[in-house]
Amino acid sequence: MPVADYRTYCRMIDEARKNRFAYPAINVSSLTTANAVLKGLAESRSDGIIQVSTGGAAFASGSSVKDMVLGAISLAEHVHRVAARYPVHVALHTDHCQAQMLESFLVPLVQETERRRQAGLPNLFNSHMFDGSALSLKENLDIAVPLLERCHRSELILEVEAGVVGGEEDGVKTEGTPAEKLYTTPGDMLEVSRRLGVVQGARFLLAATFGNVHGVYKPGHVKLKPSILRDGQEAVEKEYGPDARFDLVFHGGSGSLLEEIHEAIDYGVVKMNIDTDTQYAFTRAIADHMFRNYDGVLKVDGEVGSKKQYDPRSYLSLAETAMAERVKVAAGALRATGRSLLALK
């Protein structure tokens, strides 16, 4: 199916919230990783989200160019072309964009969608994330409100974050963050609802933090408190009514226990970001190929090696398949397997 339009994306979110499942939102940085996500989603019969970070976008443009906007556009255009060949819906999203990168990354991509719409073309991306978590909540929302207004005019969904996800992603470290900042409070969620709720009709996602940490951890190492999401949702509903309950995003899920993931979904998580685990699956397949075919991928002791084994297509196809399998695992953990909107027709 073509990349989801605004109505389809909104329906995806509504279905996830209603039926208590979440979409795997997988970071990509190349055509091969994008293809892996599409393969995994299709084989899971799950809709999903392909997302691009600032670092992933810069990488996609090439090491000599390192243009975040160009890389993001290139990846999105590829997905627009190939997604039509797959029997699931997919949305395109940009991941963490901090305040200092708004004008160099997020805003130019919004402008690109605005240009496309003026030309009668579909949106380039479906949603964007503004990560103002390093700012005070007031400063964060002072930027988010006009940004949401602009996104809404072009049928774009905005994701915002209140609280800080620990660890490191794309070179951004949050070491030394006070422990209380790792947990979004009910008061924070009330303020987000109050401020963003003034943009009538706009859709937005909230990444509320409950101990989440980016990076690699053994199961059980990260101490999550999903009850924070429950408490915040209850406070918002009490103040503003049931329609004000948030569509939540789960960041930093590596190492989380399955019961913690399911509890978070029960409290309103509709999207879970996945990057570390799919990166490992991709690289693990390449490493396995290299170790098994050492004398074929290298010209050892004057030999010529094996072209079939050092042809990048040989190991990148294995990496694509391995990453697709990890996407399928994610879809299962998020209760999304078999839940594509197309299955409801």
Q: ∠ CA 42-57-3 to the nearest 5 degrees? A: 35
Element (H, E) at 324: helix 312-333
Q: What is the CA radius of gyration of the chain?
A: 20
Residue 242 to residue 294: CA distance in whole angstroms: 60
User: What residues pair up with 98 in beta bridges, in sequence order?
Assistant: 131
List % helix, strand, coil for the chain (3-state, nearest 5). Answer: 55, 15, 30
Q: Which residues are within 8 A (CB) of 343 and not within 5 positions of it... i.e. 6 or more apart?
A: 45
Q: Is residue 95 annotated as part of the catalytic site, yes or no?
A: yes
For residue 168, what are the CA distances in angstroms to 165, 171, 194, 276?
A: 9, 6, 30, 11
Contact 123, 171 (CB under 8 A): no
Q: Locate tokens 């964060």: which residue?
A: 140
Residue 132 to residue 143: CA distance in whole angstroms: 8
Helix (H, G, I), strand (E, B) or coil at 118: helix
Given 95, 188, 247, 275, which residue is catalytic? 95
User: What residues pair up with 131 in beta bridges, in sequence order?
Assistant: 98
Q: Which residues are catalytic?
A: 95
